[in-house]
Amino acid sequence: MSELSEDDRAAVSDVRSAVMRLSRRLRNQRVDESLSPTEMSVLGTLARCGSATPGELARKEHVQPPSMTRIVAMLEGKGLVRREPHPDDRRQVVVSRTSQAEAMLAESRDRRNAWLAELAEGLTDEERAILRQAAPVLEKLAHL
């Protein structure tokens, strides 16, 4: 962070704080309260990246493989994922989301979008324009 000015460092701190608060509020908009944030994250990863082995999921989610094995088992027990034989390696399985998971994710996404849209109605036209400009920057930061 040494290349950033003092004002930029203050802005980074403000963004971090605001994103954390907004993230907590968004988590409260969950459709299925029986799923942990980690389980929801795994379903989201499968939605974004497609089917994956438990090892690949563990790396993407930054958890240990034994933890991912337990998470996948829990999700499978709830009918949200299915395990199928790996097409190239019989020792492995590939995890995919089910149509039930897709429907739940879509409902969750719709609920959160509606909640955020309602909040955005309270912004000025100028603030909404700034938000439109900030969205790609925040997306870039999320993937660096």
Q: How far apart are alpha carbons 37 and 117 in whole angstroms?
A: 22
Q: Give residue 52's pLDDT.
A: 95
Q: Give residue 71's pLDDT.
A: 97
Q: Give residue 43's pLDDT.
A: 95
Mean pLDDT in runs of 10 for the chain (144 residues)?
85 94 87 84 94 95 95 96 90 94 92 94 96 94 84
Q: Give residue 88's pLDDT.
A: 86
Segments making up each domain of the chain, as ranges: 31-143
Q: Give residue 29's pLDDT.
A: 83
CA dihedral 33, 34, 38, 42 (to 10 degrees): -100
Is 31-143 CATH 3.90.550.10? no
Q: Give residue 87's pLDDT.
A: 86
